Amino acid sequence: MDLFEARNITKNFADHQALCDVSMTVPEKSIYGLLGPNGAGKTTLIRIINQITAPDKGEILLNNRRLRSADIHRIGYMPEERGLYKKMKVGEQALYLGRLKGLDKKTAVKRLKHWFEKFEIQAWWDKKVEELSKGMQQKVQFIITILHEPELLIFDEPFSGFDPINTNLLKNEITGLRERGATIIFSTHNMASVEELCDHITLINNAKAIISGPVHNIRQKFKLDIYRIGFEGDAEKLHNILNHDYEVLELTGSSAGYTARIRINRQSTDNLLLKLLMPHFHITSFTEEIPGMNDIFINLVNRQKTGVNQ
């Protein structure tokens, strides 16, 4: 079932178009990646979801119902540019922001105590925010985001500025949140984290959604039919065996063992390739190269760029 749906969202600013007919569907209890280069319109989309700005066209559905202002309590948002009142005490501030999200004081205090204990930051309660390091502030910010236990969590660039230890902590918390039933949308440039965490993605470039779907499908879709084959035997024979249906891109190694990257043209299949090779070589490994999100991202964005230029 889908928790969230954006339908044909368009948003124009005075001098540029931030979003053009963007749609996306986020299944319940999934982690959804919102990708795109800087200035693509991700933050605008996120602000529209948070009802900070309104779209010019299109609609946002939550549980198949049009998003209403009361739904603010069902959404948790951690902006890219994180900030807190510098002069305000940590505990007081977390309490204030939690209550603004509709929590009553008692519940907010109880949950804050729990999270502060879990992150081992109880000692910070009465400290002013400006006394904390950036990493510390981000922990506080994370707690504030999830305190009202929203169904939908939106993290804008959650890993930027976190050190590796805190990044890991955050990753664990995000997957933990999903296990407890939350749905998470996050925008990021960090493609490794996309492959690691996301079930689905949408790639936005130049205000348009250029690709959308499950991460696995997208990677499959963009594979280039390149196989990496480890073998032992006479490497010289390789070129003679393979006809024009195959292209050897790379051949490395020594008599102890070779690795070849071979592209298969449309007419052939991986099984046929194996059949061709098996009589001549001892095959030690055979894997299909599936492109990383990073390559797909760069590929798509560049392809669009050249398209625009033409």
Partner 1 sequence: MQKKSSLIIAREYLSRVRKKSFIIMTLIGPLLFAAIIIGPMWFATLEDREVRIIAVVDSSKLFIDKIPETEYLKFEYLENTTVDQIREDFSETHYYAVLYIAHIITSAPSAVQLMSDRQPSLNIRMHIANAIEKELERQKLATYNIDNLEQILATIKTNVNIRTIIWQDDGGEKESHSELAMITGYIGGFLIYFFIFLFGAQVMRGVIEEKSSRVVEIIVSSVRPFQLMLGKIVGIGLVGLTQFLLWVVLSFTLVVLAQQIFFPDLGTPSSETVVPEDLFSSSTLHQSQPIGPDDSGRIAEIFSSISAINFGVMLGAFIFYFLGGYLLYASLFASIGSAVDSETDTQQFMLPITIPLILSIIVMMNAIMNPEGPIAFWFSIIPFTSPIIMMARIPFGVPIWEVTLSGGLLVGTFILTTWLAGKIYRTGILMYGKRVNYRELWKWIRYSS
Q: Which residues bind partner 1 (CB under 8 A)?
A: 14, 47, 50-54, 69, 72, 75, 77-79, 81-88, 96-97, 99-101, 144
Tokens for 42?
């991700």
Strands 75-78 and 152-156: parallel
The residue length of the chain stands at 310
**Closer CB to partner 1, 103 or 194, in the complex:** 103
Contact 3, 26 (CB under 8 A): yes
In the complex, minimum distance from the CB of residue 14 to partner 1, in angstroms, rounded to a whole number = 5
In the complex, minimum distance from the CB of residue 79 to partner 1, in angstroms, rounded to a whole number = 4
In the complex, minimum distance from the CB of residue 86 to partner 1, in angstroms, rounded to a whole number = 6
* Cα 291 → chain centroid: 16
**Closer CB to partner 1, 69 or 310, in the complex:** 69
Edge-first strand order for the sheet with 57-62 is 17-27, 2-12, 57-62, 65-66
In the complex, minimum distance from the CB of residue 125 to partner 1, in angstroms, rounded to a whole number = 17
**Closer CB to partner 1, 74 or 235, in the complex:** 74
Side-chain half-sphere CA neighbours of 240 within 13 A: 6
Closest to 246 in 3D by CA, of 264, 230, 227: 264
In the complex, minimum distance from the CB of residue 60 to partner 1, in angstroms, rounded to a whole number = 14
Strands 200-205 and 208-214: antiparallel
How far is residue 146's CA from residue 157's CA, in Å, rounded to a whole number?
A: 16
In the complex, minimum distance from the CB of residue 224 to partner 1, in angstroms, rounded to a whole number = 40
